[in-house]
Amino acid sequence: MTLPPRATRFLLYAEQNYAYSILRPLQWAIGARGGEARWFFAGEEVDPRHLEPGEQRLMDVAEVRAWNPEVVLVPGNMVPSFIPGLKVAVFHGFNVAKAGRSDDRGHFNIRGCFDLYCTQGPSSTSEFEARASRHGHFRVVETGWPALDPLFRPEIPAGRELSLPARDGRPRIVLCSTFTPRLSAAPHLLETVRRLRDEGRWEWLVQFHPKMDPEVVEAYRSLQNDSLTFIETSNILPLLRSSDVMVCDTSSVMLMFLLQHKPVVTFRNQTRGDTSHLLDVTRVEELEDAIERALSRPAELMARIEAFARELHPYTDGRSSERVLNAADDCLRQGREGLSAKPRNGLRNLKERRKLGYWMPW
């Protein structure tokens, strides 16, 4: 039997540094099936120095159009129509459902750019399928999130190797925090973390969003000793794999940690809806007891975490990238049959032309 043709040219469309860890598992899967991948950096907020040897970059829109990708993989919210190829949304994180922001302004905002949304699990698939029925100009396929493939299959490259301290027998706590001032736990927990570090019962790893307030970064960096290590990396998966409990706030990284069926202690979490899978505290004095409880892994909490993970991202085989590529192939074969035309997005495309310095052809 003759197999149907598969796409061979894939554009990795990056606007932020976090795109590296999301797109690299896809790049690996593309290579494994004999395809080609090229990177394109849209704007000046992504640092090309993070490219690894052997990774190939197209320098401008003219080069992209000349290479003529069949599929464009986008871990962001926007891709202009003058970039050729099937536009595939692969997301830059999970839906945290932050208080004060509606779903339609956040994770489920439909901007009219994409032909295909590759969703992460049942909780996001149902929302996008409802919007696909309403808008009619894109398809939805549940694939799992490629960024997590190396979490479950460590042989898949996600970035530069990260050197972590060797485990010494103590429980390991990873502290992550968002940079948004009204949501960030880091400034509030500094003195408590200092005290717990000095007690030495636990080993701490600290990693923050790259946009974190530099004063907060320096304050935590100064805490480093044999019980606390401050880590700057774009590849956080080794930290997640090696830690027993996470302390966080309302950052989406906590959801990645939960998918390992490990407990998360949050400080003043601002997620809408049911948060019974989290151990949330509102006072710094409660943090130590909450960590102790998390380390004990109470059965009721673990059952809630497992139920939450099944809805958020049930895939633990490390093959979400392969499913994304297969979904793109299927979408190419179907073409636009059964779909309405995408919005023209004139203003958005004009802004993108200005940002990317590309005007012709119109």
**pLDDT tens digit string along 76-132?**
999 999 999 999 999 998 887 654 544 555 567 888 899 999 999 999 999 999 999
**What pLDDT sits at residue 105?**
53
- Section 40-62 average pLDDT: 94
| SS3 state of residue 356 | helix
pLDDT per residue as tens digits for the range 271-296: 988 999 999 999 999 999 999 999 99
pLDDT-derived band at 4, boundaries 50, 70, 90: low
Q: In the prediction, which pLDDT does 2 show?
A: 52
Q: Which CATH superfamily is domain 172-312 in?
A: Glycogen Phosphorylase B; (3.40.50.2000)
Q: What is the pLDDT of residue 31?
A: 97
Cβ neighbour number for residue 8 with a 10 Å cutoff: 14
Q: Per-residue confidence at 163, pLDDT binned at 50, 70, 90?
A: confident
pLDDT in tens, 191-231: 999 999 999 999 999 999 878 999 999 999 999 999 999 99
Domain 9-156+318-356 sits in CATH 3.40.50: yes
- The mean per-residue pLDDT over the stretch 125-144 comes to 95
Confidence of residue 141 (pLDDT cuts 50, 70, 90): very high
What does the pLDDT read at residue 209?
Answer: 83
The pLDDT tens digits of the residues spanning 240-271 come to: 999 999 999 998 899 999 999 999 999 999 99
**Separation CA 328–CA 337 (nearest Å):** 15
Report whether the peptide linkage leading into residue 361 is cis, meaning its omega lies within 30 degrees of zero.
Answer: yes
Query: What pLDDT band is residue 158 in, cutting at 50, 70 and 90?
Result: confident
- How far apart are alpha carbons 33 and 322 in whole angstroms? 9
Per-residue confidence (pLDDT) for residue 192, from 0 to 100:
98
What pLDDT is stored for residue 307 in this prediction?
97
- CA–chain centroid gap for 298, Å, is 28
Span 168-188, mean pLDDT? 95
Scanning the chain, the segments in alpha helix (DSSP H) are 19-32, 61-67, 122-135, 149-152, 186-199, 214-221, 237-242, 253-258, 287-296, 299-312, 320-334, 346-356
Q: Write down the pLDDT at residue 272.
A: 85
Question: What average pLDDT does this structure show over 40-58?
Answer: 94
Q: What is the pLDDT of residue 101?
A: 47
* The Cα angle at residue 97 between residues 130 and 193, in degrees rounded to 5: 155
State yes or no: pLDDT of 1 exceeds 50: no
Contact by Cβ (8 Å): 243, 258: no
Which range is least confidently modeled, 1-15, 32-46, 120-134, 167-181? 1-15
Dist CA 156 CA 144 (whole Å): 16
Q: Give start-end residues of each CATH 3.40.50.2000 domain in the chain.
A: 172-312
* Stated pTM of the model: 0.88
